[in-house]
Structure formats: structure tokens, C-alpha cells
A and B are shown apart, each in its own frame.
Chain A
Amino acid sequence: MSVAASSNMNMKFLYAGIAIALLIAIAAPFLASPDPDGLESAAGSIVEESKLAGMEVSAPFVESPMADYAIEGQGKMGEVVAVVAGTILVLGISFVLGKAAKKK
């Protein structure tokens, strides 16, 4: 296989990967379980309530623009936009960083 053809196939893999990632990103807000994750759930069951309440009200170190994968007041659509935006952001950063780091 020529280098050009192989590179072309890898671009196809990129497009297929992006399509799958975006499909998951769009579906995630509707399909994801609202239950707490393993760490939060463990905290809820083994940390005393008063201590946990104190930990939960303490503000995060940095305020996030789209905390909890949501946009304030925008409901499910806001969540879809947030996860899709994050997916594209990760894609862009990885691509640019990968291109910058790769062997010359």
C-alpha cells in the first residue's frame, strides 16, 4: 500500500471516529444514567452526612464555564451542546498537539 493511500485510509478512520464520537456525544445526555458514579456513590454510603455536606458545598478550585456538562437554563439541548463542544475541543487539541509533537 502506498503511503498516500494509507494516509487516506487513516483520514477515513478519523472521519468514522469523529462520526461515532459525535453520535455518542449527542445520545449521552438522553441515555446516561443520572445515578452517581462509583466514587460519589461510595462517598454517599460511607462518609458521614455532615462531613459530606461540607465537602459538597465547598466551591471548586476553578469555576467551570459548563459545569456538569450543562448550559444553565438550556435543559437537554444545552447538555447536548456541551458534550458535543467538549468532544470537538478534545479532538482539536489532540490533533493540533499530535501534529506539533510528531517526529519531523
Chain B
Amino acid sequence: MHIPDSFIPMGQAIVYWVIALPFIFMSIKWARKELDDMKVPILAALAAGIFAIQALNIPIGMGTSGHMVGAVLVSIIFGSPMAGVLVLTLVLLVQGFVFGDGGITTMGANILNMGVISGFTGYYLFVVLKNKTGIKAASFVGAWIGLLISALACAVEMSIAGTFPLVAGLATMGLYHLIIGFIGEGLITAIVITAIEKSRPDLLDSSVTNVKGVRA
């Protein structure tokens, strides 16, 4: 879902940067407030893992592939969507400048879609669901729907840019990311969260493991 430079006119690309920047600043503020010597290694390992897994495209049929985005996973582990914004910003910076994956002018839109929209939607869906369905199902649905919503937002941006027609864009992006989100995002996120909960529950933010949602 990495939008290249040529897909959005410069003026609109700047608007998405202006929308994304406050979230980037808030994510740095989050880091200053929440990160300590215990959490920095976890954040760094997650960021590296998410960069690597984004290089692993999974075939979904119809001559199309997709990969995990990871914002929801990071947000659930740290108990804040700001963590997802921070990690995705770092990953997208390296992808854009070093590997030409996603544009530079369009990086604001990419941070907005994959970091902010997928992370916030997925994380808060997880929060709402976890007391009813448990952590496993909630992380699966949150990650899946978070990715789908960000793909639909991307289709709307493509339509405003005059790149895609709106309805065809929504239908195609929606269909592809419904499938990508199920396998690449939902399943992987649920598996990783379950594995961490079983082996190192202390790594998960207390708001996640405490099913009543009350911070210890």
C-alpha cells in the first residue's frame, strides 16, 4: 500500500504531510513519556521485525500480493496507537529514502494510512473487543479491519488525486486488502500477541493483559 510519488499531486501530498506531522510529534512525545531502558530494546526489535516482514509479500491470488503493516501489533504490545505511528514512521522513512518503497512527497500519506489510520482503528477496535472476545480474537479482528480501513482511506485519497475512480478504487482496494488483512495482518498479529502473552506476558502493556481494562 506504499503510495509512490507519482500517484498524488504535490499540493495534496503536502496536505497529507501536514495532517501526519502532529501525529508524528505526538508519537515522539509518547516515546519521551513512556519509553524506558526496558522498553527501548522491545521497540527496536519490533521495528526491525516489521521492516523485514514488510519485504515478505504473500500471494493472495488474482495476480496480487500483500504484506503485513504491523501498526496494530505494535500498538497492542505497547498499549498505545502512538507506538504504531512511531514505528511505522521510522520504517517508512528507511523504506522511502533507501529503497524507493513509497514516495518521499507521499510519505505523509503513507504514514497517515499505515501508521495513524490502521493503528488507531485497529487498536481501538481491539480495546472494545478484548473484554468480550478475549485477546486472541480481538487482536485478529482489530488488525484485519484496521488494515482494511486504511486501504479504503488510501482509495479515497487516490480518488481525490484523480488517480483512481472512487467506486472502482474502493471496490478493488477493499477486496485485495480484505484478503491481505485476513492473512497478512490479522493472523500474524493474533499469533504474535498470543505467543507473547504465553511466554512473556510482562512485555504486554498492563491495559492489554488486564481483561477488565483497569490499569494496575
Contact = CB atoms under 8 A, between A and B. Distances in A.
B52 A41 contact: no
A35 B104 contact: no
Contacts of B59: 33, 35
Interface string A17-29: 1101110110111
Nearest to A16: B45
A42 B164 contact: yes
A77 interface: no
Contact of A36 (B3, B55, B65, B93): B65
Contact of B32 (A13, A65, A103): A103
Interface stretch (B119-127, B132-140, B173-181): B173-181
Contacts of A62: 96-97, 104
Given A24-B52, A101-B31, A82 B65 contact: no
A61 B51 CA distance: 22
Interface string B145-183: 000000100110000000111001100110011001000
B90 A93 contact: yes
Given A37-B2, A38-B66, 7 more contacts: A14-B42, A31-B56, A35-B65, A37-B65, A41-B172, A55-B7, A93-B47
Interface of A: 6-7, 9-11, 13-14, 16-18, 20-22, 24-25, 27-29, 31-39, 41-43, 45-47, 55-56, 58, 60-69, 82-83, 85-91, 93-95, 97-99, 101-103
